[in-house]
Structures are given as C-alpha cells and as structure tokens.
Structure 1
C-alpha cells in the first residue's frame, strides 16, 4: 500500500488525514475497505471489524466532522456534503483496488461516495450496505415530526429505540450534550436526503441487515438491487439494527468472500 496514515497527515494531504483513519497496519494488503459510520457514530466503531479482516484486506474508516477528535469542527448536515468530502479525501486511495462499507446512515454516504468516485472513472470493487433501506425507500419512519420540530427528545428516543452499545451513553448528561450536535446533524442529513435513480452503479452491491431491525424491511433491503447494473446479494443475520456487533467474524467472512482478493 503506497499511502500510509500517521495521525492527521497522509503524505501531506490534510483532507485525507482529517477524514480517514486506519487502526491496524496492513503493509501487504491488496485491497482497502473504506467504512462509513452510522448517525452519531465515529470511525472507532470499525476497530473490531478492522481487527477481524485478513492480512490481504486493510480497513480504513471515515471520521465525520463534529465528533471525537473532530469535535471542534462544524457538523455537515446533508448526505451530499458528507459524500463530497469523503470522495475528495479518498482520492489518495483509489489508485489501488478498494471497496466501500456503510452502516445505517453510513450506507447512504457510502452509496453517494461510490457514485462520485465512479463518475471519475474510479468505481469501487464492491459496495456493502448495512442496516439501511434502499435509497429510493423511505429513510425515516412514518409520523415523523416536521424538520423544524426534530427536537432532542425525539432524537434521543430514536437512538434508544435502535439500540446498540452507544445508546446507553445517552443516559449520562455530559456525554449526551457532546453527542447531540452530531446526532441532530446526521438525522437532518438523512431526513433531507433526496434520491436520484441515476447514475446506477456498475459494481456489485451486497446488502446486509438484521432480521429484527425495526427500520429495515426485507423488501426495503432488497431495493438496493435497483441501484446497480452489477451483481446483487442480500444477507440477513440474526439481530436488530446493530446486529453487526454480534457478528463481526461472520461479516468479515462475507466481505472477504465477496471481494477479488
């Protein structure tokens, strides 16, 4: 791998160094898997998956602004803006084979990032979309309040409804106050997302979901098939919205088997 990340600099490219994290060295990797976090999530979410991947596959993770070591930066409030910045940051990495993986909101950001990179003649080897309805499907539940009334009470209740290890941290007032700005921005990004049916991707799309996810139906997950001219597959694992926390080895196997390693 030609590009090596050290702290917040990557070969002098500040944008890549700010946006991209690598948790485990992989000097002999033949392919990179770029991972996009869920709403309110951060790059560190993908440390367990990074550790579970084989030596030939290097995991990178996207760090959105407004959280963890980027806490002092303003959050971005649209999927388009997140995808624009992520695609620019990945310029350094797309000379070699790569794939994208996104969970929940991250699936939308990964999808739109893939479109941008494909338009540059640099399509991914595959796109993995997890815990998210196809982009043409409703992205948020019926009965949602108007955007102007999307208050903190609703945001916290929705995070708790979806579960996951991070939801219990909202019980601590200090942590909740730090987390709410990024959660508000991310839910606003999902709320305002408008899907365009073109361009379709050319790479394989692999959808993953939990069988008890309250926000993803079977037909909703299968709707990702319409977004690519390439092969499509759907994998349903046991669990809720954050099913992947309990299936890291299995997900690593699925990813590895789906890529040209």
Structure 2
C-alpha cells in the first residue's frame, strides 16, 4: 500500500499503519520536499509537477512489476490520482485507488486559504480541517511547517487534472460523515473518474476522521480489495 500524505503532513503520519496493516500490505508513504528527511528542499506548488517528478523514485521503491493499493487523503487524494495515471505506464499495477476527504478531481474549491496573511491562513486551514496540529503552537516548529502548509494548500486549491481520461482502476471514496469541507455528493464525484468499480464509505467524524480511525480505514480497504 502506497500512502500519499495530506497538506502539511509527512510519511511519519502513516508509520502506525505499518503495524495495523501487518500481514495485509507493506505500507510505504510518499515523502515530498519540505518535510522530514527532505526538510531543506523547496516544496512543490503544483500537483501534476509533483507527481511527474516523484514517480521514478516511487517506482524504484515499489519495485519493478509491483502491485499496489494507492491511498490519499485530501491533497493526497488528487496527488494519488495523478500518480495512478503515471504508475500504470511504468509497469506498476495499481489494484485500487482509495481517495479520502476529497471531491472529484475536476471540482475546484470555492473557499480558499492560499494567499491569506499567516494568522488568517492558519485560522482558515483550522476551520477547513476541524483540526490544528499542536506543532503550530511552537514558534520554531511553526516556522518550519508554515511554508510547507502554505505551498501544499496553494497546489491543492489550484489543482487542475492532467487528463480527462478516467482510470481503468477501481476507486473507493471515503469521507467523515460530518466533514464540513467535502459533501457526500462531492465525495461520490469520483465515480466519474473510473471505468472500473466504484464504492463509497463514510466513517464517523469530520475532515480529519482518519487521525483516530486508521484501523477501521484499513479494514474497509481490505474488505473492498477482497471484493475484487
């Protein structure tokens, strides 16, 4: 399973999933510039560019002829969608794309955070997500995190898909049932992004429901995969 982080997050968010997924999948995560081991690198501001630039390293990590389930939440969902198109041309078989907390790829957000002054930006992001990372309350950490979060929001809010061609890959769309950022109708727009099967599952919680429900998310993905 290849996991693609949401705005401001790094691969360590998914480290607990490794134990939860033991015996089911080997869990790896995309590590983008500007965070964790790539902290000093300039973050991307364009989703399509990020996917194209990172895909070769991802293929090398997965291995030739690999089979994988792709998972992405929010920003990670649209980045995973772009990667799904690219991976199939590089010999990686994407068995399923699991998108979480995201409207369909052709739906742009009406309310934006990008470009706002720092305090307004953070307040808007917190309002959107219903979640505030405690690191933002520490000046030194905030200085490191804020530029990455701003770049991530910009590339998410400006995202335009690289292609209108649907994926020949089953898509499962997940959503917190009280998500104030993505409606149920928007989350189900992903059905138009695939020529294969589509499923939709809701969990209790808001936009960041997956913070507390990693095991439940993996259980649903396993059940979906068993259906073929």
The TM-score, its normalising length taken from structure 1, stands at: 0.80
CA contact (8 A) 1:125 1:203 kept: yes
Q: CA deviation at 1:95?
A: 1.1
CA 1:82 to 1:196, structure 2 compared with 1: closer, same or farther past 3 Å?
Answer: closer
Q: CA deviation at 1:150?
A: 3.2
Query: Moved runs in structure 1, 4+ residues, more than 3 A?
Result: 119-123
- Partner Cα distance (1:225, 1:212) in 2: 21
Gaps of 5+ in 2: none
Match in the other structure for 2:203: 237
The answer to whether structure 1 residue 216 and structure 2 residue 182 are counterparts is yes
Gaps of 5+ in 1: 1-32
Secondary structure of the corresponding residue to residue 126 of structure 1 = strand
- Partner Cα distance (2:188, 2:13) in 1: 25
Match in the other structure for 2:76: 106
The answer to whether structure 1 residue 96 and structure 2 residue 66 are counterparts is yes
CA contact (8 A) 1:197 1:227 kept: no
2:106 aligned residue (110, 126, 136): 136
The TM-score, its normalising length taken from structure 2, stands at: 0.91
2:46 aligned residue (68, 78, 81): 78
Question: Which stretch of the first structure deviates more once superposed, 251-260 or 70-79?
Answer: 251-260
1:53 aligned residue (21, 31, 48): 21
Task: Give me the CA root mean square deviation.
Answer: 1.9
- Partner Cα distance (1:113, 1:61) in 2: 13
Q: Which has the larger radius of gyration?
A: 1
1:227 aligned residue (190, 193, 206): 193
**Residues 107-160 of structure 1, C-alpha deviation per residue, up to 9 Å, x if partnerless?**
01000000112244544000000111111112x343x37x6x333223311332
- Partner Cα distance (2:24, 2:156) in 1: 34
Matched length: 224
